Amino acid sequence: MHTVVVGTSGVSASDVLAVARGGARIELSAEAVAALAAAREIVDALAAKPDPVYGVSTGFGALATRHISQELRAQLQRNIVRSHAAGMGPRVEREVVRALMFLRLKTVCSGHTGVRPEVAQTMADVLNAGITPVVHEYGSLGCSGDLAPLSHCALTLMGEGDAEGPDGVVRPAGELLAEHGIQPVELREKEGLALLNGTDGMLGMLIMALADLDTLYKSADITAALSLEALLGTDKVLAPELHAIRPHPGQGASAANMLAVLKGSQLTGHHQDDAPRVQDAYSVRCAPQVAGAGRDTMAHARLVAERELAAAVDNPVVLPDGRVESNGNFHGAPVAYVLDFLAVAAADLGSIAERRTDRLLDKNRSHGLPPFLADDAGVDSGLMIAQYTQAALVSEMKRLAVPASADSIPSSAMQEDHVSMGWSAARKLRTAVDNLTRIIAIELYAATRAIELREGLSPAPASQAVIEAVRAAGVQGPGPDRFLAPDLAAADAFVRGGHLVTAVETVTGPLR
């Protein structure tokens, strides 16, 4: 099994995906263990002094003015975990919880939190055992970190609350730890606070969304090319020299992908035939500009994610010179913004895909295709309601594009009076990514059927490879009306699993 070694300088996005989705094992580097021990010495020294230090010998948030005596500090750390584990609503997905825990471990291992090495090792042990704390949908405002979600994870480390075992069954966390020979942690000064104070949930969801969107943007380039082909459009608008004079990198990449898919097609370039068109519609002609803008948004989001992956997010933090200083680095604004930006871009990509689908189904705009791509229009309704489904998904995407980060709601007796709502931005982005997959699948379904209805002209080799692969995957071609939901589900699985991109790349080589 793949092993990820956690050091002091952060982790990579591929490490997060390996742990969250691939079940990779985790090891702590010798460097990380040494840094953990050194930072703990600083915290222990401060804890022995009479002077109050936030997070070490005081209460938290609006209660930070109370100095806590030594005999109550262990109870203080337990209490912050128990009281903050106040999430409600549906359970969060296993991959999100694993990313959340792993990213908190990454920060702990930086040597800036003051957590003991044995606590960090327990975090790794829990992940390696396949134990997943039960984390709920609601409980994070994206400031002071993803507090309730991280608290539910910390509760598991203490052997309290509920968790899911490697068999998928939810049981008391203490039982699961005991079965795997893991000793529950007894938290000491600062440790409870350090386990809760991070942007780890929203960051983990950002990294996974970026991985999914990378495939979806390539998939959208492919379906846009298929729709252009089915509509007998021109590929001249994809010429590299046209995109070089507006040098947005994403636009150029998207146009190059579409051009690669269309190479060798007999269907393109017929826009001057029986019903001459000077130009194709915007949804066809401007596909690279819209998809390209989304790609460039993703590039910015990756930059933010990379910076956050290298960060040590906690409050207070242990500095190399021995100071323990309060800060505001837990504020989720940088991550929240890009999560919202991606939701906006995804909504627009879904919107333009739906417009192409609608054009394929409208006999007045499809340049010779039958109404709704039906076998016997009137007797058959064809893909009429598939487009309704796609339109409903697009409408929800637009609602999901409303930025969560534009909101703030004060908490903790106005001590935490401006928050990022980054967790909420991440949760709605996950829904948006799911919806975008379905939207692209419906365009794929319509475009492949439309191409097959163009008799006498051969599609591009890459397009033909897609048609053959998607039919082999159980998505049926043209014919009389039938139960459509299974076809759409199979198309969704085809796109979601990356098979659409793979089918094209067997002909074109790697897409950009």
Measured distance between the N- and C-terminal CA atoms of the chain, rounded to whole angstroms: 30
Chain position carrying tokens 């002209």: 457
Mean pLDDT computed over 77-105: 97
Mean pLDDT computed over 339-344: 98
Q: Residue 74: pLDDT above 90? A: no
Q: What pLDDT shows up at residue 305?
A: 98
Chain position carrying tokens 């309290």: 160
Q: Residue 331: pLDDT above 80? A: yes
Q: What pLDDT shows up at residue 91?
A: 98
Chain position carrying tokens 């104070």: 197
Mean pLDDT computed over 310-323: 92
DSSP state letter for 22:
T
Q: How confident is the model at residue 167 (pLDDT cuts 50, 70, 90)?
A: very high
- Give tens-digit pLDDT for 207-248: 999 999 999 999 999 999 999 999 999 999 999 999 999 999
Mean pLDDT computed over 58-62: 70
Q: Residue 56: pLDDT above 90? A: no
**455: CB partners within 8 A, 6+ apart:** none
Please report how many Cα atoms fall inside a 13 Å half-sphere around the Cα of residue 17, on the Cβ side. 10
Q: Can you give the pTM of this predicted structure?
A: 0.96
Nearest alpha-carbon partner for 426 in 347, 313, 349, 337: 337
Mean pLDDT computed over 193-208: 96
Q: What pLDDT shows up at residue 508?
A: 98
Q: Residue 1: pLDDT above 90? A: no
Q: What pLDDT shows up at residue 416?
A: 86
Q: Residue 59: pLDDT above 80? A: no
**506: CB partners within 8 A, 6+ apart:** 465
Give me the chain's average pLDDT, please.
95
* DSSP helix/strand/coil, 79: helix
Phi, psi of 501 (to 5 degrees): -65, -45
Of residues 279 and 210, more confidence is placed in 210
Q: CA dist 223 to 25, 357, 460, 495, Å?
A: 37, 10, 13, 10
- Kindly report whether the peptide bond that precedes residue 316 is cis, defined as omega within 30 degrees of 0: yes
Mean pLDDT computed over 417-422: 93
Under 8 Å between Cβ of 429 and 213: no
* DSSP helix/strand/coil, 24: coil
- The residues assigned a catalytic role are 54
Q: What pLDDT shows up at residue 62?
A: 65
- Give tens-digit pLDDT for 466-506: 999 999 999 999 999 999 999 999 999 999 999 999 999 99
β-strand pairing of 132-133 with 88-91: unpaired
Mean pLDDT computed over 316-326: 90
Q: How confident is the model at residue 57 (pLDDT cuts 50, 70, 90)?
A: confident
Under 8 Å between Cβ of 289 and 252: no
Q: Residue 275: pLDDT above 80? A: no
Mean pLDDT computed over 343-349: 98
Calculate the CA 243 to chain-centre distance: 29
- Give tens-digit pLDDT for 376-419: 999 999 999 999 999 999 999 999 999 999 999 999 888 888 99
